[in-house]
Copies of this chain bind each other. A is one copy, B any other.
Amino acid sequence: MGQISREKAFRSFGGMLEVFDHESHACQCTMRFAVFTPPQAEHGAVPVLWWLSGLTCTWANAAEKSGIQRYAAEHGLMVIFPDTSPRGDGVANDEAYDLGQGAGFYINATQEPWAPHFQMEEYVVNELCSVVRDNLHMADMERQGISGHSMGGHGALTLHLKHPERYKSVSAFSPIVNPADTPWGEKCFAAYLGDDREAWKDHDTISLVKRQPTNAQLLIDVGADDEFEDPYLMSSRIIDACADAGQSLAHNVRDGYDHSYYFVSSFMGTHMAHHAAILNSK
Interface residues of A (CB under 8 A from B): 10-14, 16-17, 64-65, 67, 69-70, 223, 225, 254-258, 260-263, 265-266
Contact = CB atoms under 8 A, between A and B. Distances in A.
Nearest to A260: B10
Nearest to A64: B65
7 contacts: A10-B258, A10-B260, A10-B263, A11-B223, A12-B265, A64-B65, A64-B261
B266 A14 contact: yes
Q: Which 7 residue pairs across A and B have the least CB separation, nearest first? A: A11-B256, A10-B262, A12-B262, A11-B257, A13-B266, A67-B67, A64-B65
Contacts of A10: 258, 260, 262-263
A67 B71 CA distance: 12
B262 A11 contact: yes
Contacts of A256: 11, 16
A263 B15 CA distance: 11
Given A11-B256, A64-B65, 14 more contacts: A10-B262, A10-B263, A11-B254, A11-B255, A11-B262, A11-B266, A12-B263, A12-B266, A13-B265, A14-B266, A16-B256, A64-B64, A69-B265, A70-B266
A210 to B, nearest CB: 33
A73 to B, nearest CB: 9
Contact of A11 (B13, B17, B258): B258
Given A12-B266, A266-B11, A67 B70 contact: yes
A263 to B, nearest CB: 7
Contact of A65 (B65, B223, B255, B263): B65
A12 B267 CA distance: 9
Contacts of A258: 10-11
Contacts of A263: 10-12
Among A11, A64, A69, which residue has the most Cβ atoms of chain B within 10 A? A11
A150 to B, nearest CB: 16
Contacts of A16: 256
Contacts of A262: 10-12, 17, 69
Contacts of A70: 67, 265-266
A16 B256 CA distance: 9
A173 to B, nearest CB: 14
Nearest to A263: B11
A164 to B, nearest CB: 32
A121 to B, nearest CB: 30
A65 B64 CA distance: 6
A265 B67 contact: yes
Contacts of A64: 64-65, 261
A200 B14 CA distance: 38
